[in-house]
Amino acid sequence: MKTPRFLVAACISLALAFTFSCSSDDGGGGNTGGGSGCSIDGYRTVKIGEQTWMAENLNCDVSGSKCYDNEPAKCVTYGRFYNWETAKIVCPSGWHLPSDEEWTTLTDYVGGDSTAGTKLKATSGWTNSGNGTDDFGFSALPGGNGNGTGFGIVGDYGYWWSRTESDATYAYRRIMRYHNSDVGRYSSSKSNLFSVRCLRD
């Protein structure tokens, strides 16, 4: 029995709506969905030790997410920024925002915090010859950050959330810098806007 044409058209429309729900060109974020609105389709992934990571920053357009300087082209290169509460739920089904401990598992595997930055940074895109060797295919880029007053230091620094709180208003994040070989671990206000790398469940 043939499927009616109107049902085929409806299914195609729904599929297209889902496919593009996480790649809007709107620089300010628009979707109101949570993690279930994001798909892993189209993202590069990499296995490092026993972990499987996204090999690029998440670029899922959900409410409150931002492109650097609200320029859609920056989202294409660096992914979107998220506050901590959104970062916790934005990863696609089957993936999650890594904990502080899971970030440490990654940096330990690649040789320790003091040299992990060089090994995880992309081989281009960092200012002042601050590129890495990208030994493991993680391809970290310096997307900068955002907060209530604007955006800063794209090209120089990259910031990534963990899902681990340090207290009621702060959570841990990782940082890589053009002038250092390490991966720094600090806590920041949950309202700040940082990048997200999702980790497979």
In this structure, is residue 1 part of a structural domain? no
Please report whether residue 177 resides in a domain. yes
Q: Please give the average per-residue pLDDT across 50-60, as a whole number.
A: 98
**How confident is the model over 29-51, as a mean pLDDT?**
74
Report the percent of the chain where pLDDT is more than 70.
82
In a domain, 13, yes or no: no
Report how far residue 18's alpha carbon sits from residue 52's, in angstroms, rounded to the nearest whole number: 24
Q: Domain containing 83: what range?
A: 29-200
Q: What is the mean pLDDT of residues 168-177?
A: 98
Contact status, residue 146 vs residue 192, Cβ threshold 8 Å: yes
How many domains does the structure of the chain reveal?
1
Tell me the C-alpha distance between 188 and 167, whole Å: 10
Structural contact between residues 165 and 171, judged by C-beta atoms closer than 8 angstroms: yes
β-strand 199-200 against 95-96: which pairing, if any? antiparallel
Is residue 167 situated within a structural domain? yes
Mean pLDDT, range 82-92, rounded to an integer: 97
pTM above 0.85, yes or no: no
pLDDT classification of 123: cutoffs 50, 70, 90: very high
In the chain, the percentage of residues whose pLDDT exceeds 90 is 79
d(CA 144, CA 46): 23
pLDDT confidence bin for 148, thresholds 50/70/90: confident
Note the pLDDT tens digit of each residue in 130-142.
Answer: 999 999 999 999 9
